[in-house]
Chains A and B, each alone.
Chain A
Amino acid sequence: MVAVTVGPEAGALPAGSGGLRDVEFATFFRAEHKKLIRFMIASGASDDEAAEIAQVTFVKAFEDWDVIRAPRAWIRRVAVNELTAARRAARRETPQATPPEAPVPVSAALAAELSEEARRVLAALQTLPPRQRQVMAWIIDGFGAAEIARELGISPESVRQSHAKARKNLGRFYGRRPQR
């Protein structure tokens, strides 16, 4: 029987060279892994999707580690692209992978861990239009208007406007449903 190959035959990862490169990557991974998952959740992914995409993204980051100049922005950009591609692929088979009326799409495991405030913020972000939500995700992770504009391919002014609208909408959300 022919041996099983997990993953593609082509495009395999280079063998780990160890040393500083690996340590540097591992340090970055440990600092950013969960933040990337949170970023993806804020961007509209379920936590399952977010974890999967984060894993793929970091594998790619490892492959390209030597040439990535701004890794924090890089992983977020790649992760968003992965999510877009995954959604597109899913749509080809099922018209709607996630029902629009679905509650905050988190697994039972994460749901059990979320505080009420965390649930509310995820619900609040879900009410935002995609662009505002995307901008908020970047802002929450500490990126500035210029960086966000560069990553999203829009002007810094558009980023500011989206952020202003997002804040307004979030204010309405929290005003409409005051915290207990």
Chain B
Amino acid sequence: MIRRLRCVLGERAFSGGTRSTAADAAVCRGMADVLAALDNVIDDEAALAAIYAGIGSSMPGEAGGAAVTRPRAGRPAAFRGLLAPRRHVLRSAAGVAVALAAGAVALVAVELPGAGQGTVAGAVDTAYVVKRVDSALRVAGPGAIAQMIVTTRGAGGTTTAQEWSYGDQWRSITNSPAGQPAYDEGLSRGIYTVVSYPARDWARQRESGRVAAPALGPSGCEPAIAGFPLFPSGLPVIDVPAGSLTTAVARNLRAAISCGALAWAGRQRVDGIEAIKLTSRAGSPIAETIWVSPGTYLPVRVVMRAASGQPGPLQAADITWLEPTAQNLARLTVPVPAGFRQVRLGQILHHLLPGPAKRLEPTS
């Protein structure tokens, strides 16, 4: 029976009817060591606290003790640093895009060299966060619906847009400064649909396949380092490749993050969570700030503005990552209200945006 083969971690190797071998013993010892190593880098209490934080509940204490609402700050110094010197110690597990399904909120705290003994330094390794955000965005792109509320504040007032994207599909509802829907547009199965509410007309046509994203330089980092805007201006369809606005934002965020354009800037509470804050490095022509969920490492809020002293609008996006349920997928469809008149695409776009509309004319 393999039941007898169970690896008793320690001295005895598994032995399933056949004699245990040196390899069996090595596996047992090695895996015991892996567990011991994990004990030094994973903080169970922080991970458990994250689960309870995600459900807005307090965490039960150990062995029937009193409930605790905060994760353990850190292991006493006596238990640290006994092994090989290490650059930093990860103190918690964390969720990533797959955590979307559960909405987990994990906590991250990283010890830095020289941190006070017995405490967790109030700093997070930027490289670590960057890696996790990049990974989260890469995985979330195809697996979750990104919902964004984009607010633009400028000389012309404040406008909002609500946007969703999922794979190649996207939809955007732009409101007027008065808060009324101005136009509703989206791309689904290669068909672009736009509805103009003021004109009470709509248009639909097959996607032109135009790719107008800003070209990346040899390293792919030049736009990000230069402060490449996170949100294309004007209609979302403008300057956005065949994917979606949100896909473009995710791509630009990834570029900004992976290229080192953003740096860790502490923690800040965003609607109930202690989000990780990343900001543009000094000298960037555009000031970007991203707040990242410590549980999923996905951006939950992005703010972009011109660098200090420069004119320009402020754009902010609140991002919610949704499961691709039937109900949520339905948000990607642009409904055409009854009584609206169908017109040519150029006609409706010219009406909406006289300047850039010409760029939206079919190219083939």
Contact = CB atoms under 8 A, between A and B. Distances in A.
Nearest to A20: B60
A30 B163 CA distance: 40
A143 B52 CA distance: 29
B30 A120 contact: yes
A142 interface: yes
B83 A112 contact: yes
A109 B103 contact: no
A180 B138 CA distance: 40
B71 interface: no
Q: How large is the interface on A (under 10, 10 to 19, 20 to 34, 35 or more residues)?
A: 35 or more
A51 B92 CA distance: 8
Interface string A1-34: 1111111111111111010001100100110011
Contact of B31 (A8, A94, A140): A140
A9 B5 CA distance: 45
Given A7-B321, A52-B93, A56-B95, A112 B138 contact: no
B54 A13 contact: yes
Contact of B41 (A16, A113, A118): A113
B5 A139 contact: yes
Interface string A32-57: 01110110011000011001111110
Contacts of B64: 23
Contact of A8 (B23, B24, B322): B322
Contact of B29 (A6, A85, A117): A117
B14 A139 contact: yes
B296 interface: yes
Contact of B51 (A23, A55, A144): A55
Contacts of B85: 112
Contacts of B319: 4
Nearest to B5: A139
Max count, chain A CB within 10 A of own CB: residue among B90, B95, B149: B95
Given A4-B300, A8-B103, A34 B26 contact: no
Contacts of B321: 7-8
Contacts of A170: 23-24, 26-27
Contacts of B98: 52-53, 56, 82, 85-86
A37 B132 CA distance: 17
Nearest to B25: A174
A10 B2 contact: no
Interface in B96-123: 96-106
What are the 8 closest A-B residue pairs judged by CB atoms, nearest first?
A7-B103, A121-B30, A16-B57, A59-B102, A118-B33, A112-B86, A113-B37, A144-B3
23 contacts: A2-B149, A4-B300, A5-B271, A6-B320, A11-B102, A22-B52, A34-B38, A38-B34, A48-B131, A54-B47, A58-B48, A59-B99, A60-B102, A85-B98, A90-B138, A112-B83, A113-B36, A117-B30, A121-B30, A121-B33, A121-B34, A139-B6, A174-B23
